[in-house]
């Protein structure tokens, strides 16, 4: 725990609202991380659905949350994942309600105690990712800015090493300011107290995980209890990094889609699935007869159990709810007080997903409004406006007037206007899950 508390995985600077076309970006991932191909027309359909949800977020959260949850379980389109994560976490609302806050924090020097530790950790986060491969590159610079800003935002908490991979994953999908507010929401709403001194919150959740395991896989529970393996020995990195350093990249993205929608129960379910699969049968236990062997097994999870399709299916079938977690949390706190006394860290109450966060702090319509930094030219709008301009010029010439203003190079749709190309496109249904890497474009 001392190494974690030493207080130690990219982003394209885009915040784009596109009317009718997409902006492309390649992602360097091995073929083994790519899932089945999704037909382009199906992807366009899903993007259209998500754009509709984002444009009417409050209505969807209030009246059609179950449908939104199903779409998160199926997988958020890569082109919209960053924006969707920001809305799900409540980071978008926080950013709008605290305009200029990140710039203010970013301009400050920072506490040297935390700055030195952060700088030492930068090169350790996803060192083979194109964003973070270069020392001092834009990815590492943004990661430093986000982590330093958080230490200034929460000086009583400071910096924890496990926050770095969380911030890095966010930066791979959104600009630095958005990643900062996403990190704030994860640390304060989804995983409160995880990164505070003493690691009390993660120890409590370790006890909850162990208790739930008894119900999910009694055999695995007995084995871990027999060998006196404290949960904090094997689940600390899993939970504090939200599995970003454990699972294959495609699986990380699918887990985060569900985690930011439904809350920490998804993290518990992933942990329970891995423990059940690795220690849930007598045949598997034959290879780990002691504490050391068991720990080594849990450090090298079989890739079969981490594959996107298998893992998501197991997560959805596991009957662990928010109520189960809260019930065990109260029991764990009671046991803690009986054996160790009062908790030193008074963390904020945990919010179980996007709906709970929005209900606790209802946003205004203005907070949810999308503010694109780029508006992409619509070919149809350009053609139509060009024809109108030509007719106007002809009319003026007939009247003997000179046209002093040049013909515009391009006409642009307002962000609120529907896209003619999108509106006229036939959209097809599909039950296929969405790959996290195929057609990786940003809307």
Q: What is the 3-state secondary structure (H, E, C) of 232-248?
A: HHHHHHHHHCCCCCCCC
Pair of tokens at residue 296: 């080594």
Distance separating alpha carbons of residues 167 and 184, to the nearest angstrom:
10
At residue 126's C-alpha, the angle toward residues 121 and 132, to 5°, is 80
Q: pTM of this prediction?
A: 0.78
- pLDDT band for position 439 (50/70/90)? very low
In 3D, which of 111, 175, 114, 178 has the Cα closest to residue 141?
Answer: 175
Name the more confident of 29 and 72: 72
In 3D, which of 378, 254, 259, 361 has the Cα closest to residue 309?
Answer: 254
Task: Judge whether residue 429 has pLDDT over 60.
Answer: no
| Mean model confidence pLDDT for the chain | 80
Name the more confident of 332 and 31: 332
Pair of tokens at residue 304: 């079969």
In 3D, which of 120, 184, 118 has the Cα closest to residue 145?
Answer: 118
Distance separating alpha carbons of residues 346 and 157, to the nearest angstrom:
12
Pair of tokens at residue 346: 């008074």
- pLDDT band for position 366 (50/70/90)? confident
Q: What is the pLDDT of residue 105?
A: 96
- pLDDT band for position 28 (50/70/90)? very low
Of all residues in the chain, the percent with pLDDT exceeding 90 is 59
Task: Judge whether residue 100 has pLDDT over 50.
Answer: yes
Q: What is the pLDDT of residue 115?
A: 94
Q: What is the pLDDT of residue 289?
A: 84
Q: What is the pLDDT of residue 442?
A: 42
390 exposure class (CB count in 10 Å sphere: 0-12, 13-18, 19+): exposed
Q: What is the pLDDT of residue 51?
A: 94
Choose the most confident range, by mean pLDDT, from 76-80, 124-128, 346-350, 417-421: 76-80
- pLDDT band for position 202 (50/70/90)? very high
């Amino acid at each position: 725990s001392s190494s974690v508390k030493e207080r130690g995985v990219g982003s394209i600077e885009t915040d784009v609202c596109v009317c009718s076309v997409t902006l492309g970006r390649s992602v360097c991932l091995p073929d083994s991380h790519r899932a089945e191909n999704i037909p382009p027309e199906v992807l366009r359909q899903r993007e259209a659905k998500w754009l509709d949800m984002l444009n009417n977020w409050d209505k969807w959260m209030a009246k059609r949350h179950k449908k939104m949850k199903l779409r998160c379980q199926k997988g958020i389109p890569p082109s919209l994942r960053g924006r969707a994560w920001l809305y799900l976490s409540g980071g978008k609302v926080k950013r709008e309600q605290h305009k200029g806050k990140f710039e203010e924090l970013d301009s400050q020097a920072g506490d040297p105690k935390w700055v030195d530790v952060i700088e030492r950790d930068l090169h350790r986060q996803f060192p083979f990712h194109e964003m973070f491969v270069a020392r001092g590159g834009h990815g590492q610079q943004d990661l430093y800015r986000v982590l330093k800003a958080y230490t200034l935002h929460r000086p009583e908490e400071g910096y924890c090493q496990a926050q770095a991979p969380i911030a890095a994953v966010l930066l791979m999908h959104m600009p630095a300011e958005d990643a900062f507010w996403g990190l704030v929401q994860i640390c304060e709403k989804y995983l409160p107290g995880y990164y505070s001194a003493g690691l009390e919150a993660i120890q409590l959740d370790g006890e909850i995980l162990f208790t739930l395991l008894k119900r999910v896989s009694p055999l695995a529970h007995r084995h871990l209890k027999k060998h006196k393996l404290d949960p904090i020995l094997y689940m600390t990195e899993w939970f504090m990094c939200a599995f970003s350093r454990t699972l294959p990249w495609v699986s990380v993205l699918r887990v985060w889609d569900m985690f930011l929608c439904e809350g920490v129960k998804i993290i518990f379910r992933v942990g329970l699935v891995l423990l059940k699969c690795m220690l849930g049968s007598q045949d598997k236990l034959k290879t780990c007869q002691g504490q050391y062997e068991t720990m080594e097994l849990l450090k090298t999870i079989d890739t079969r159990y981490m594959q996107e399709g298998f893992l998501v299916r197991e997560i959805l079938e596991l009957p662990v709810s928010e109520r189960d977690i809260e019930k065990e949390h109260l029991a764990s706190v009671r046991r803690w007080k009986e054996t160790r006394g009062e908790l030193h860290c008074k963390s904020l109450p945990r919010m179980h997903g996007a709906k709970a966060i929005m209900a606790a702090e209802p946003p205004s319509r203005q907070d949810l409004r999308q503010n694109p930094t780029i508006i992409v030219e619509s070919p149809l709008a350009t053609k139509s406006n060009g024809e109108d301009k030509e007719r106007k010029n002809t009319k003026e010439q007939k009247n003997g007037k000179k046209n002093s203003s040049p013909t515009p190079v391009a006409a642009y749709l307002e962000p609120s206007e529907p896209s003619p190309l999108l509106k006229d496109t036939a959209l097809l249904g599909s039950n296929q899950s969405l790959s996290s890497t195929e057609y990786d474009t940003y809307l």
